[in-house]
């Protein structure tokens, strides 16, 4: 489930600096290692050009854009999603639904190249990834369009709050938060790379084999001991490196996979909640119902009655 970044009240209103397009307002918070921009668009427009200095992480806050990036088809860009834009890469953007009473809002963090290099060097030296031939790095254009994780969203919100605060130490605080943001971004990309596209990486990444095993044995008891054996790692190393690489534990990943399967099964018109509980790998109905409501905000029975989007 995508999670959305929410603007603090201190950022509004956003009519501070106007872009040359005359349709978009821009608020800028310039710090030593990055520049944080909040854009608000008040009228429909098409193919509006925008270029940000440095690699940029952009996140939709409100409304809809259509993004045109070099070398890839245009795509809808919605709240709860982020897009990584290369250094000085030209974006062309459509705002099909923007209006004065219904503005489109977007957050963009442009990061200095030396900050990225420093963070990557630190991670690769002290906290290596599972595969030595795949060091910490930002993924390429194929994995530039992301669904926000709760961890990525939380870090973006804290970076925004620090950037617009009067705290005398905000440069230091923002620097630490920016490093965390880069880690969360790479973890989010790693989830997309391995969790969603594991079949392509079975021969090159041990965690792809772990993901395949989990998916194939979702209804069985899945112990960390067994999964660490699939990864050819000790139990302690497997648990630590898996969490480092993806930002969640193996157990948390299994729970998310089982909940996703439960949601899929609940869409069947003849599905029974108790049956779905077992078929999704849960062996306790009360636990399943409580866990489902915690993650989805509704009970399995209520979810089953929701209209299909």
Query: Is residue 107's pLDDT more than 60?
Result: yes
Residue 97 has pLDDT above 80, yes or no: yes
pLDDT at 13 over 70: no
Please check the confidence at residue 17 and state whether its pLDDT lies above 50. Answer: no
Rounded CA-CA distance 201/208 in Å is 6
pLDDT, tens digit, 9 for 90 and up, residues 276-297:
999 999 999 999 999 999 999 9
> What is the 3-state composition of the chain as percent helix, strand, coil, each rounded to the nearest 5?
45, 20, 35
pLDDT at site 87: 84
Residue 51 confidence (pLDDT): 85
For residues 90-105, average pLDDT: 91
> Which DSSP state fits 149?
P
Alpha-carbon span 309 to 238, nearest angstrom: 38
Query: Which pLDDT does position 20 carry in this prediction?
Result: 45
DSSP characters for 272-289?
Answer: -HHHHHHHTT-S-HHHHH
Farthest-apart Cα atoms in the chain, separation: 60
Give the pLDDT mean for 79-106: 91
Which long-range contacts does 71-75 make (Cβ < 8 Å, 24+ apart)? Answer: 71/141, 72/141, 75/145
Neighbours of 70 (CB within 10 A): 10
Point out the least confidently predicted range of 27-31, 119-123, 189-193, 294-298: 27-31
Distance set, CA 253 to CA 89, 247, 249 (Å)? 34, 10, 6
The predicted pLDDT at position 95 comes to: 94
Region 15-43: mean pLDDT is 74
Mean pLDDT of the chain, nearest integer: 90
CA-to-CA distance for 177 and 182, rounded, in angstroms? 9
* Sign for the pseudo-dihedral over CA of 130, 133, 139, 141: negative
Task: Calculate mean pLDDT across residues 254-282.
Answer: 95
* Rounded-to-integer distance, Cα 260 and Cα 144, Å: 23
pLDDT, tens only, 54-72: 899 999 999 999 999 988 8
Nearest to 156 by CA among 185, 114, 120, 186: 185
pLDDT at 252 over 80: yes
Contact (Cβ atoms closer than 8 angstroms) between residue 26 and residue 16: yes
| pLDDT tens digit sequence for 113-147 | 999 999 999 999 999 999 989 999 998 888 899 99
* pLDDT confidence tier of residue 1, bands split at 50, 70 and 90: low
**Which stretches of 72-149 are DSSP H helices?**
113-126
160 closest CA partner among 34, 22, 247, 20: 34
């Amino acid at each position: 489930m995508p999670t959305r970044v929410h603007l603090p009240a201190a950022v509004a209103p956003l009519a501070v600096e106007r872009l040359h397009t005359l349709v978009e307002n821009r608020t800028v918070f310039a710090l030593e290692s990055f520049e944080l921009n909040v854009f608000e668009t008040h009228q429909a427009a098409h193919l509006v050009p925008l270029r940000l200095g440095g690699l940029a992480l952009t996140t939709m806050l409100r409304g809809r854009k259509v993004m045109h990036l070099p070398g890839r088809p245009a795509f809808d860009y919605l709240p709860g999603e982020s897009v990584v834009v290369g250094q000085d890469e030209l974006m062309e953007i459509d705002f099909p639904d923007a209006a004065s009473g219904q503005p489109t809002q977007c957050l963009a963090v442009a990061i200095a190249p030396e900050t990225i290099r420093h963070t990557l060097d630190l991670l690769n030296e002290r906290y290596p990834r599972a595969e030595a031939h795949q060091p910490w790095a930002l993924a390429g254009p194929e994995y530039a369009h992301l669904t926000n994780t709760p961890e990525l969203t939380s870090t973006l919100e804290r970076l925004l709050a620090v950037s617009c605060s009067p705290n005398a130490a905000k440069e230091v605080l923002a620097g630490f938060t920016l490093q965390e943001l880069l880690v969360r971004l790479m973890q989010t990309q790693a989830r997309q790379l391995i969790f969603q596209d594991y079949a392509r990486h079975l021969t090159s990444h041990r965690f792809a084999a772990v993901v395949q095993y989990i998916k194939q044995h979702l209804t069985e008891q899945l112990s960390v001991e067994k999964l660490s054996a699939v990864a050819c790692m000790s139990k302690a190393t497997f648990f630590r490196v898996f969490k480092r690489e993806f930002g969640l534990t193996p157990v948390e990943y299994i729970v998310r996979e089982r909940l996703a399967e439960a949601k899929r099964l609940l869409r069947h018109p003849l599905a029974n909640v108790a049956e779905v509980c077992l078929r999704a790998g849960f062996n306790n109905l009360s636990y399943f119902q409580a866990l489902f409501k915690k993650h989805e905000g509704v009970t399995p029975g209520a979810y089953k009655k929701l209209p299909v989007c």
